[in-house]
Amino acid sequence: MKALSDMARFRILGILILAIALFTVGVLILEPIEPGRLLLYNLLLLLVLAAALLRWVCGPLDRLVRSLCARDPGLLAPLANQNAEFGQLARLIREFFQQQQQLAAEIQERRQAEQNLRLFSRAIEYSPNTVIITNRAGIIEYVNPKFVETTGYSRAEAIGANPRLLKSGKTTPEHYARLWQTITSGGEWRGAPSPTSSRSRRTSPSARRSRRHCAPAN
């Protein structure tokens, strides 16, 4: 931005120097003309140059200001195709608008994702089914309130433990091997209650049957 400002300043200074030079040449060439008429001619010349200078500077500046106030990069199209200083400035402003729109879209997308996450979290918290989340090593990282109610294990007891704490002793090692192989390969495991299904053992001596549905979270 500073480089563009310096270039515009030099351009204006050059035009003013040119006007002064023309004024001087006019005085030398038109010396025989009476002073009043000579002054009038030079004043007219200066007015024309000043009007052209104002049009050259104020026209693009007005377009830039209107674009910024309206937040409309489309107004910069006539300037953006120019190679002059105002063209470079217009392209910079247009890129700023594009980055601003992209940032706004990313913020909206993140807000939507956070809202969805809160909804999913509430759905899991109030689910009538037991929900357990483990990492790839099989260590429990989350249990919902229904788990605590159903199994009798507190969250503090369950988190950091292995789902083996729910083993009933009636499920074969081959059954668990197939379960983990299915999950680690990206598949889903559904197990119907049966004599070979696991039983969720409470901290009390009672036990109950459970239906399993295991799936990778990512």
Percent of the chain scoring above 70 in pLDDT = 55
Total domains in the fold of the chain: 2
Q: Tens digit of pLDDT for each residue in 141-174?
A: 888 898 888 888 888 988 988 877 777 666 677 7
What distances in angstroms separate CA 27 from CA 14, 17, 22, 33, one per listed residue? 20, 15, 9, 9
Mean pLDDT of 46-61: 68
Statement to judge: residues 99 and 8 lie in one domain: yes
Identify the domain boundary among 66, 90, 105: 105
- Long-range contacts from 42-49, C-beta under 8 angstroms, 24+ separation: 45/19, 46/19, 49/15, 49/18, 49/19, 49/22
Is 69 inside any structural domain?
yes
Is 117 inside any structural domain?
no
Per the listing, tokens 């983990």 go with 180
Statement to judge: residues 31 and 94 lie in one domain: yes
- State which residues form the domain around 6: 2-105
Q: Tens digit of pLDDT for each residue in 87-146?
A: 777 788 888 888 888 999 999 999 999 999 999 889 988 888 888 888 877 788 888 898
Is 112 inside any structural domain?
no
Mean pLDDT of 46-56: 67
Statement to judge: residues 85 and 169 lie in one domain: no
Is 158 inside any structural domain?
yes
Is 121 inside any structural domain?
no
Beta bridge partners of 201: 207
Percent of the chain scoring above 90 in pLDDT = 8
